[in-house]
Copies of this chain bind each other. A is one copy, B any other.
């Protein structure tokens, strides 16, 4: 009455069997007769028994998967979550999210906390930890890393093909007739390698080279302000670009503001493209050309890989998701 919690012992008493037998039934383990099965199942239903995850943790699984979020404000993070939970919806696994913050230190604290809570596996979204830290986490628990290129042997990885995505944008703009295409990227702060913005910038450079064009990369930050500042600088030049490809939609919004303030009309005077295809990009008022990553597929894939890992696979896998270009109103042929 004090705790009120129904335990396996209560069920065993009710069904007139041992706790071991109940445990077997609950886990679907080998060695239970049909009769035992029904008896116990009935007792469980009558009492409303639910296994106590913490107690389970001491011996076996917790059926809890952790997803560490580096940035809660990243607009397609809900897509990834939905992909993960959707995939796991009909399994016994539960998903809990851990806000890891932007700093390597706070992220490490979060992953430690998740390990301490004996989660069965972790999905890390764009972690900003060193490779060594990442490897350390991966030895303690199965790990899938999302959004970071160049995965290691210790963990699985799911990445968007950012090189391809950047290429799609450049190809599109070149196809429209642009030659002066600038790229706004995010200034590298951490030691971590293979982060999306780096790879997108590299993909942009490759694609420009492939078209025989000179590249023009400016590093500010992936914020509205960063896009604004970057665009203001680019647009002040004598030979200002006719198109700006921002490495993230949020920065592209800043670019649009800069264009507004400079009295340039989009797309006639300036074409603008982003990356991520965030929800508002599709709003008619914005109508931003962008690269869609299909966070849903990314999340579902990460969940699948993680469960596979937990259930025994040891060979490491890297899955690459192909982005698609969504052409909208902010890109068009340059004014001659």
Number of copies: 2
* A58 close to B (CB within 8 Å): yes
Q: With A and B bound together, what is the CA distance between A4 and B115 in angstroms?
A: 12
Which of B62, B72, B112, B224 lies in contact with A81, CB distance below 8 A?
B72
- Among A8-16, A47-55, A159-167, A235-243, the stretch that binds chain B is A47-55
Question: In residues 159-205 of chain A, which contact B (Cβ within 8 Å)?
Answer: none
Q: Which residues of B contact A279 (CB under 8 A)?
A: 73
* A314 close to B (CB within 8 Å): no
Which of B62, B110, B260 lies in contact with A284, CB distance below 8 A?
B260
Contact: A117 with B285, CB < 8 Å? no
Q: With A and B bound together, what is the CA distance between A186 and B226 in angstroms?
A: 35
Query: How far apart are A117's CB and chain B's nearest CB, in angstroms?
Result: 5
Query: How far apart are A317's CB and chain B's nearest CB, in angstroms?
Result: 24
* A97 close to B (CB within 8 Å): yes
Contact: B118 with A99, CB < 8 Å? no
Query: A79-96 interface mask toward B, CB cutoff 8 Å, 1 = contact, 0 = none?
Result: 001100100000000111
Q: Looking across the interface, which residue of chain B has its beta carbon closest to that of A258?
A: B284
Contact: B94 with A97, CB < 8 Å? no
Contact: A62 with B54, CB < 8 Å? yes
**A98 and B97 in contact, given A54-B118, A283-B253 (Cβ under 8 angstroms):** yes
Query: How far apart are A168's CB and chain B's nearest CB, in angstroms?
Result: 24
Q: With A and B bound together, what is the CA distance between A172 and B283 in angstroms?
A: 27
Q: Which residues of B contact A52 (CB under 8 A)?
A: 116, 118
Q: Which residues of B contact A116 (CB under 8 A)?
A: 50-54
Q: Which residues of B contact A296 (CB under 8 A)?
A: none
Q: Which residues of B contact A280 (CB under 8 A)?
A: 253, 280
Q: Which residues of B contact A78 (CB under 8 A)?
A: 72-73
* A264 close to B (CB within 8 Å): no
Q: With A and B bound together, what is the CA distance between A253 and B116 in angstroms?
A: 43
Query: How far apart are A244's CB and chain B's nearest CB, in angstroms?
Result: 16
Query: How far apart are A154's CB and chain B's nearest CB, in angstroms?
Result: 14
Query: How far apart are A85's CB and chain B's nearest CB, in angstroms?
Result: 6
* A256 close to B (CB within 8 Å): yes
Q: Which residues of B contact A260 (CB under 8 A)?
A: 284-285
Can you give 10 contacting A-B residue pairs, CB < 8 Å? A53-B113, A54-B62, A66-B96, A72-B78, A73-B279, A96-B98, A97-B98, A253-B280, A253-B285, A285-B286
The 10 closest A-B pairs by CB, nearest first: A54-B57, A97-B97, A72-B78, A94-B113, A96-B96, A53-B117, A54-B118, A53-B116, A54-B54, A257-B284
